[in-house]
């Protein structure tokens, strides 16, 4: 009976010791990787290249065009597509602006080693068209 009490006491103390070590290890909940999404560097100057398409003006079409842009690890636009719901009559006025965009690429950080790596990613750029009378 004495041996059972000793073993039980040992197991309980071991359980409490493990629990206290785990409670003190705050980094267990930290994600392995974190990232910073790509962001345009020259948004204002590139958007100055947006032209209101003639058909849009003639028909008084207002609205938004959302462009899904693929940015490589160097921050350059490789390709882009117009998202569903975007008015294709307005989309013709944004080609030059999208091609002129430069980005700070998406950065992925390994939270264990601290290493940072630029990676390619998709970014959505909204463009609004509004006629001012």
**pLDDT band at residue 27 under the 50/70/90 scheme:** low
Neighbours of 34 (CB within 10 A): 12
The mean per-residue pLDDT over the stretch 39-60 comes to 90
pLDDT at residue 129, as a whole number? 87
Contact 106, 38 (CB under 8 A): yes
Q: Would you say the pTM of this structure is higher than 0.85? A: no
pLDDT confidence bin for 63, thresholds 50/70/90: confident
In the predicted model, what is the mean pLDDT of residues 54-72? 91
Domain ranges across the chain: 31-129
Q: How far apart (Å, rounded) are the C-alpha atoms in residues 8 and 129? A: 74
Average pLDDT over every residue of 57-69: 90
Is 31-129 a domain of CATH 3.30.2420.10?
A: yes
* Lookup: tokens for 123: 């970014």
The better pLDDT of the pair 3, 45 is held by 45
């Amino acid at each position: 009976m004495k041996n059972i009490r000793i073993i039980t006491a040992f197991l309980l103390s071991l359980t409490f010791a493990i629990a206290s070590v785990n409670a003190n290890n705050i980094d267990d909940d930290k994600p392995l990787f974190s990232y910073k999404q790509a962001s345009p560097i020259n948004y204002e100057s590139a958007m100055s290249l947006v032209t209101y398409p003639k058909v849009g003006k003639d028909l008084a079409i207002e609205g938004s065009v959302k462009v899904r842009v693929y940015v490589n690890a160097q921050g350059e636009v490789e390709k882009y597509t117009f998202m569903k719901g975007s008015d294709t009559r307005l989309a013709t006025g944004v080609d030059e602006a999208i091609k002129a965009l430069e980005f700070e690429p998406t950065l992925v950080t390994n939270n264990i080693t601290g290493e940072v790596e630029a990676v390619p990613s998709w970014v959505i750029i909204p463009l609004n068209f509004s006629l001012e009378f």
